[in-house]
Structure formats: C-alpha cells, structure tokens
Structure 1
Amino acid sequence: MGEARRVLVTRPEPGASHTARRLEEMGFAPVVLPLSETVPVVAEIAPGRYDAVAITSVNAIRHAEPGLIGSLIHLPAYAVGEKTANAARSAGFADVTAGRGDGEALALALSGALRHGAHVLYLAGRVRRPDFEAKAVAGGLEITVCETYDTADIDYRDLRGRLGDAQIDVALIYSVFAAKALIELAKRPEISDIWEKAWVLCLSPRILESLPERWQARALVSERPDEQALFKLLASL
C-alpha cells in the first residue's frame, strides 16, 4: 500500500479539525491550513416586530451573544441546511425549518411560508453573498440584517513549515474567500514545488469560476454544496 494522499483542508476552525478527523478515517493524510477565521462582532437587533429569523451559517449562531439569541427563540427559525438547523435548535430555537443547502432556496421557502411583507431578521456575517437577501426581497419579504461575525485572513509566516515537504495531492476549497487566499499563498516560491500538481475540489461552481484558468484544468465541483458531496468527489479521484 502506498503513502496516503495528502489533502489540504482550508476551512476555518473548528470545522477544519473535524474535517481532518474524517479524512483520516477515510485513509487520507490531512494537512490543516485554515485560510480564514471567523470572529465575533458586537451585534445589535434593530428595533421592530419580526415574524421569523433566517440563518445561513452555523457561525451566525456560534458567534451571537446568548442574550441576543434568547430574545429571538420565540420566533420560527429558517436555516439554510440541516447542520445550521441543528445549531439553531441547540441554541434554543424550538420551531426550526431546515432548507436544502443554499441561500436562494431558503429565500423561496420563506416566501412560500410567510405572508407577503413579513419582516425577517437575518443573522449573518459581514462577508456574505447577496443571493439570499436579493431573492427574499424579490419574494415580497422585508429583510433586516443582524451581523454577528466577520471573516478575517490568517497570516502564515512559516508556510513551508506548516505544509511540510511532501506533495499536496488535493486541496478542499469551501468558499471564494478561501480560494482567493489560496491563490495568493500559491504565489509564494517556498511552496511552488509541493503545490503545482494538486487537484482543487470546490464546494460550488462559483468557487471554481474564481480560480485562475491554469488551475481550472485540475479543478472539480461537488454535486451538492456540502462536505459529504465533497468527500464523495475526493474518493472518486
């Protein structure tokens, strides 16, 4: 049996360590290199009467103050997917609906479930895609955003020491933010010899489109925007 393939894990902690454990169970050698970190910000809820809460990231729950969440748990919560829905339930929300995994689908579900003009509080990060908000407003909902966290770069000074000397075989990319950070890191000469042959597995077509053309020849997109689909793609290589 040959050496285990080395897989670069770029998602933020604590998810990166969880992914690494799963990769080890699958027989891969994970290399953990989070390319961003999520940090809490001071969040305030704008005054008003709200009919529901929308959540498109586990981080929006994780970084919110307990008092803020406590003031909302009487409302129905609509989460982008099952993982986010479970986080909402753990935080105290009793009425939680899980979506299919993307923001536009969540907006459509909300528009179908709530009355026209319903006021929705959207727990979100400062760095986010506009899809959910645009689709929800187009569907007749009033959206107020409450930002509970931000996304920040991580500066790796000893990058070669972090990655080691062996070839990176595959990189898992979970966001456009991470893709852009990896593009910049790959320009550093100290890692060019261990990176140039790596496959890049993307969680969405939008991530692939953000890659340089020379990378796209060795890039693939998972069939769904979730990690299980990304692992399935990895196992097929």
Structure 2
Amino acid sequence: MTGSRPLIVTRPEPGNSATVERARAMGFDARAMPLFAARPLEWTAPPPADFDALLLTSASAARLAGPGLASLASLPVYAVGAATADAANATGLTVAMAGTADVQLLLDAMTSRNIRRILWLCGRDRTELGAGSAALTPLPCHAVDRIAPPDAWAGLIAAPAMLLAHSVRAAAYISELAGTARGHLALVAISPKVAAAAGDGWGAIAIAGQPDDAAMLAQAHALWHKVPK
C-alpha cells in the first residue's frame, strides 16, 4: 500500500510480531509498538481428578504456566483459537477442541458434552464468563502488564496513522496515550466492547467482523480505502 499511513500494532509479544508479519504481507506499513508485556505468576496446580477439562483462552497461559502444567496433562484441553491450541500442543497437552475466538461458543460446546467441572487456566486480568450449569474455576497463571510506549510512539501518532486494539484494556490505554491526537488517528477494534472502551473523538473507528487477528487486518484494509490519505 504505497503511501499508506502506518499501521500500529500494540498487542504484547509474541502476538505482536505475528500480527506485524501478517500485516506486512498484506502491504501495510506495519509498526511493532507493544504497549503490554506478559509475565508468569506463581500458581499451584490442583488435583486433576477434581476437574473434567482444562479451558485455555490465551496462548500465554500455555506458554507461561511453567512446570505445573505437566500435572494437568491428563485433562482434555479446550482452547480458544488456533494459536492457543498450538501452544497447548507444544507443551504436551492434548487438545480435545479448538474453538473460534468466541469463548462463549466454546463453553457452550463443552457443557453440551456434559462437561461439568472446568478448570480455567487464565490471566490475572480477565473477563467474567458464564458457564451455565457447569462449575468454572479460574486459576490465574500469568499477567499482562502495561508498559511505557516505545520511543517511536510519539512520532508515529503525531501524524495520521491506524492502530489495532485487541482488548478492552488495550483500547483504554491506547485512548489514554493518544489523547487529543485521536482526531487524526483511525482505530480498528476486535469487538464492539473494545470499540466502546476506546471512547469517542477518533478520526475513524471500525470493528472487526470476527473477533480475530485476520478479521482485524481485513477491516484495517477496508478502512484504509475510506480514510483520507
């Protein structure tokens, strides 16, 4: 996309590099500007016999859980998204189902299989989930913390650019950092909730058709043709 405004990718690594690579393959002038960093937390694995299945909603849970994950290897894993399933497989876990990016659909599928005791290996900051008649036990094993923006951030947002917001927390932080520059910036949000967290005042804002990285980039491509160059 010759002459296009930069596409700023704010998600933490290693997802940031993956998104940048996909975006550049599509012709974007993609810039890696992670605003969060993931780190492991101390946790103790419960007896696997107390549960019917293990729910993973983020690849970070599998990557950062550490040696305690091995004690849960007897539990079938239900993973949100292909990247999470791949990360689980890489640790030696057995993935029974890899759902879409919609965790509620995956939970519904689990309960339809009569899975009643679910251990959710999750992040410290998480969205509350409803599991219907099943018992869902969250166990934080990692945290994703805000970090200071990279040095090039201020220069990039001083001119027209597009940004990707992959989570509610990311949208709120991007909005805070952008301040009054929002008027000449465009934002692509992964969901309506994320768009709402970004607030008003953007030069343009769009929502991905599906809650995943590919749909965000497709929406960014469509938005690029609409906003003034």
What TM-score comes out, normalization by structure 2 length? 0.88
2:25, 2:98 → 1: CA distance?
A: 28
Give yes or no for the alignment of 1:231 onto 2:217.
yes
Per the TM alignment, residue 86 of structure 1 is displaced from its structure 2 partner at its CA by: 1.8
Q: Deviations over 1:189-217 (max 9, x none)?
A: 7xx3xx531211000010111122222x6
Per the TM alignment, residue 46 of structure 1 is displaced from its structure 2 partner at its CA by: 3.2
1:164, 1:20 → 2: CA distance?
A: 16
Residue equivalent to 2:147: 154
Q: Deviations over 1:22-79 (max 9, x none)?
A: 22222211122112111110011234622110111111111101x2221111211111
1:2, 1:206 → 2: CA distance?
A: 32
Residue equivalent to 1:106: 106
1:234, 1:225 → 2: CA distance?
A: 13
Secondary structure in structure 2 of the residue aligned to 1:3: coil
Residue 37 to residue 160, structure 1, CA distance change in 2 (3 Å): closer
Give yes or no for the alignment of 1:124 onto 2:128.
no
- Give the counterpart letter for 1:9 in structure 2: V
2:124, 2:187 → 1: CA distance?
A: 26
Contact 2:52 2:117 in 1 (8 A): yes
1:224, 1:39 → 2: CA distance?
A: 27
Show the 5 A alignment for 1:60-71: 60-65=61-66, 67-71=67-71
Residue 110 to residue 2, structure 1, CA distance change in 2 (3 Å): closer
1:23, 1:151 → 2: CA distance?
A: 23
Give yes or no for the alignment of 1:174 onto 2:166.
yes
Residue equivalent to 1:185: 177
**Which sections of structure 1, spanning at least 5 residues, go unmatched?**
none
Contact 2:81 2:100 in 1 (8 A): yes
Contact 1:6 1:167 in 2 (8 A): no
Per the TM alignment, residue 225 of structure 1 is displaced from its structure 2 partner at its CA by: 0.3
Secondary structure in structure 2 of the residue aligned to 1:148: strand
2:75, 2:153 → 1: CA distance?
A: 48
Q: Deviations over 1:115-160 (max 9, x none)?
A: 5xx32111100111102xxx21x2x212222211012110238455
Per the TM alignment, residue 88 of structure 1 is displaced from its structure 2 partner at its CA by: 1.3
**Which sections of structure 2, spanning at least 5 residues, go unmatched?**
224-229
Contact 2:10 2:16 in 1 (8 A): yes
Show the 5 A alignment for 1:1-237: 2-47=2-47, 49-65=50-66, 67-115=67-115, 118-131=116-129, 135-136=130-131, 138=132, 140-156=133-149, 158=151, 160=153, 163-164=155-156, 167-187=159-179, 192=181, 196-215=183-202, 218-237=204-223
Contact 2:88 2:95 in 1 (8 A): no
Q: Which segment drifts farther, 35-44 or 18-27? A: 18-27
Secondary structure in structure 2 of the residue aligned to 1:37: strand
1:165, 1:146 → 2: CA distance?
A: 37
- Give the counterpart letter for 2:37 in structure 1: E
Secondary structure in structure 1 of the residue aligned to 2:184: coil
- Give the counterpart letter for 2:169 in structure 1: F
Q: Which segment drifts farther, 218-227 or 46-55? A: 46-55
What TM-score comes out, normalization by structure 1 length? 0.85
The Cα RMSD (Å) is 2.1
State, as a whole percentage, how many aligned pairs show the same letter: 31
Residue equivalent to 2:227: none
